[in-house]
Chains A and B, each alone.
Chain A
Amino acid sequence: MDAILLQILNGLDKGSAYALIALGLTLIFGTLGVVNFAHGALFMIGAFCAVTLQRIFTISRTTVDESRTDFLGNPMEVDTPYLEIWFGPEFGAALIDWSVPLAILFAIPVMLLIGWIMERGLIKHFYKRPHADQILVTFGLAIVLQEIIKYFYGANPIPTPAPSAFAGSFDFGAALGFDPMTIIYPYWRLIYFAFAGLVIAGVFCFLQFTTFGMVVRAGMADRETVGLLGINIDKRFTIMFGIAAAVAGLAGVMYTPINSPNYHMGMDFLVLSFVVVVVGGMGSLPGAVLAGFLLGILESFASMNEIKSIIPGIDQIIIYLIAIVILLTRPRGLMGRKGVMED
């Protein structure tokens, strides 16, 4: 029982990342009809927003400490962050410690801007081109973006820890009456799950309860009719592209303490997120979220030693197996509707 609970918890945080990326992907596909293979790169750029803010916070004044020597035997140069000089060691250190949550505020405008530039500068020229062209150009863009990040930040993972207040794990085992230390779960992963829930709820509320959202939903269902009513749907869809980029970016920011960011992390999630979108139903927002969590949990269960001892290698293929089964039984995915996104 405790092993099952653990894998459900594991699946929830993995599913959170899948759901957030797939949500943005399906938003772009549902509004603009574009298959955006650069979406994983947006997730990665979000993560590097956190790295960048951490680096900005740790810009330092260098002084020479004559009492110590560096590896060459020269007097050691000691760096003191300006934040600690300006605001005092305690408050300055606290700001640096909280750089990941604070990076959310930094990442939102950056990602909106990147999304807008991407859409206006490149992707809008491919609206009327075949999906194969869109895939090629966005995949190329993803490679360019990750090479740019590698040029500036290197290929090594960069540690970006969570605030020390959230270090450590919660003992679910003790709380639920099992043996202590049998079901432990890192605080930050719980925060990630809660954060994903908030973002997903925010996007749904925005689309469901605002006039802007209503127009976007109408445009997704029938773009031509909305256009005939005199509404500039293209402009709204551009804004939705920016929002989708921001969602991917926020997912990336909050993911950095879970796995140290590197330039390749977007590609690691991209293919799986596409499978999630297809399984959920192309263009279906609830489908993307549902499929994200479902596949995340199933992937976790497939990694259990008990399962792998029966079917070796199942953890590598489970998501694709489920995708095949669902597409065979429900060709439009879990929540895809007839006539939506079917040319």
Chain B
Amino acid sequence: MSFRRQTRRGILKTGIAAGAGLALPTIFTARSASAFTNEPTGSSVTLGFNVPQSGPYADEGADELRAFELAVEHLNGEGDGGMMNTFSSKELTGEGILGKRVEYVTGDTQTKSDAARASARSMIEKDGAVMISGGSSSGVAVAVQGLCQEAGVIFMAGLTHSNDTTGKDRKANGFRHFFNAYQSGAALGPVLETLYGTDRKAYHLTADYTWGWTTQESMQAVTEDLGWETVNNVLTPLAATDFSSYITPILQSGADVLFLNHYGGNMVNSLTNAVQFGLKDAMAQTGKQFEIVVPLYSELMARGAGENIRGIPGSQNWDWKLENQLGERYRGTNVFTQSFGEKYGFPPSQAAHTCYVQTLLYADAVQRAGSFNPCAVVEALEDFEFDGLGNGPTLYRGADHQCLKDVVVTRGKENPDNEFDLVEIVEATPVEQVTYPPDHPMFAGGALGECNEGA
């Protein structure tokens, strides 16, 4: 029997190797001990809410966070229970999820893909989050969805409207409740035909990133199907603040409808500029009244745009007036608005609604699956049909993880009563009209792949 002599160098090497092993992110080491990433072992479970807390969408992020807090309250049996009372699934009883108290951590996406991935990674690795949700940008959603797929946790997307999120960038671990650009087009098409006829010339100003491209593509397809001609599509930089030089050529282009495929501050500025240059009141070269369309806008953006939003058609995922105006089909809307309004003093935005609903849907899926294992949750969510969450009967389609439900077509209200009543509902387009095959060309090029449980 012989003993090797310990040298200083040998001890150092051993120390470094042991240190490196300990320093390995828990995301990798935890796998050997648990069946899946961040398996909750104590009396609580942690969810990660990744929202823009700084940057241009910080107000929208703050509203999302309010909704998440409310959802957690309701899941833990506090407050009035909100939409848990109207949800068609009765698995949630106010005793947390699978008997574990729900806790949460928050991250700041800054509406930057790299920052969003970093904060999501931190919530998964350091805080043990078993699900990530939130966000106000498609670029961020696609980036965080990819990370969650690699890490083996569920991603319940927040506000993301690009076709790519459940199209070419779809992932097995990612789910989207919010509607998408194709559905906006499908819903807006018939309304635009009614409002403006079939002989129109469209000019597009488009934000130069994934959401802008897919929105423009969708709107062009639907309007050309109506018989409209697309005169031009001009890509505008995301950082642009003054759109005057993009707007001035429009009246001379022969177009008579302007599509502003912009969101957030971009949309507020481009719409303000377009109205300043008289486009809303102008007669086009075609002899028709000039019109402006904003395919997607939120109440918060309508507030930023002020009077300029009046009369402008657009689409939304949900509106707090739905149940009052269109009836029982949209049940859940009023109880959520009541819950949210009493806690915060104003009605919830569509971003808040989708985040609240996503949290309940995740919790419900875990209850039904009887496990936090992401693959069990995926199985429970796929092709899940539900009702009572404010959008009418809804299907979480298994083939692409996209929710299929009615789409709300809105218009800026001409004479709003107050600052929360800036948009009016034109119609709720039935789900059949906005449903498309999962392999539709606008969503082609992606595959869900295999669910990853991180083990």
Contacts and interface: CB of A to CB of B under 8 A. Distances in A.
Interface in B296-340: 300-301, 303-308, 320, 337-338
A156 interface: yes
Most buried by B among A13, A258, A316: A258
A80 to B, nearest CB: 13
Interface stretch (B39-47, B76-84, B115-123, B247-255): B247-255
Contacts of B57: 155
Given A184-B251, A268-B241, A316-B237, A260 B269 contact: yes
A76 B56 CA distance: 32
A169 B269 contact: no
A163 to B, nearest CB: 13
Contact of B341 (A71, A157, A305, A308): A71
A31 interface: no
B273 A259 contact: yes
B269 A259 contact: yes
A188 interface: yes
Contact of A154 (B59, B278, B420): B59
Given A156-B300, A305-B232, A3 B249 contact: yes
Contacts of B432: none
Most buried by B among A6, A70, A150, A156: A156
Which of under 10, 10 to 19, 20 to 34, or 35 or more describes the interface residues of B?
35 or more
B418 interface: yes
A154 B58 contact: yes
A286 B247 CA distance: 31
A188 B320 contact: no
B239 A303 contact: no
A185 B29 CA distance: 64
B283 interface: yes
Interface string B37-73: 0000000000000000011111100000000000000
Nearest to A186: B276
Interface in A234-273: 257-260, 262, 264-265, 268
A71 B272 contact: no
B265 interface: yes
18 contacts: A10-B244, A71-B320, A71-B347, A154-B59, A156-B59, A157-B265, A159-B303, A184-B282, A186-B277, A258-B272, A260-B268, A260-B272, A264-B56, A265-B241, A303-B245, A303-B246, A308-B234, A316-B237
B231 to A, nearest CB: 11
B269 A10 contact: no
Contacts of A186: 276-278
A181 B282 contact: yes
A7 interface: yes
A157 B252 contact: no
Contact of A70 (B239, B305, B418): B418
Interface in A191-229: none
Nearest to A73: B338
A304 interface: yes
A70 B420 CA distance: 10
B450 interface: no
Contact of A150 (B58, B265, B282, B417): B58
A192 B421 CA distance: 32
Interface of B: 54-59, 232, 234, 237, 239, 241-242, 244-246, 248-249, 251-252, 265, 268-269, 272-273, 276-278, 281-283, 300-301, 303-308, 320, 337-338, 341-342, 346-347, 417-418, 420-421
A298 B57 CA distance: 31
Contacts of A63: none
A37 to B, nearest CB: 18
Nearest to A158: B304
Interface residues of A, number: 46
A7 B248 contact: yes
A283 interface: no
Given A157-B269, A264-B56, A71 B337 contact: yes
A157 B246 CA distance: 20
A39 interface: no
B271 to A, nearest CB: 10
Given A10-B248, A304-B249, A184 B300 contact: no
A157 B418 CA distance: 18
B387 to A, nearest CB: 23
A161 B306 CA distance: 9
Nearest to B320: A71
B278 A161 contact: no
A38 to B, nearest CB: 19
A294 B305 CA distance: 31
Given A156-B268, A168-B278, A182-B252, 7 more contacts: A71-B320, A155-B57, A156-B304, A157-B268, A161-B306, A188-B276, A265-B241
Given A169-B278, A186-B277, A14 B320 contact: no
A71 B419 CA distance: 11
B59 A155 contact: yes
A258 B269 CA distance: 8
Contacts of A259: 241-242, 269, 272-273
Contact of A3 (B59, B232, B252, B283): B252
Contacts of B301: 156
Contacts of A189: 244, 276
A299 B241 CA distance: 13
Nearest to A257: B276
Contacts of A265: 241
Contacts of B241: 259, 265, 268
B202 to A, nearest CB: 15
Interface string A130-165: 000000000000000000001000111111010000
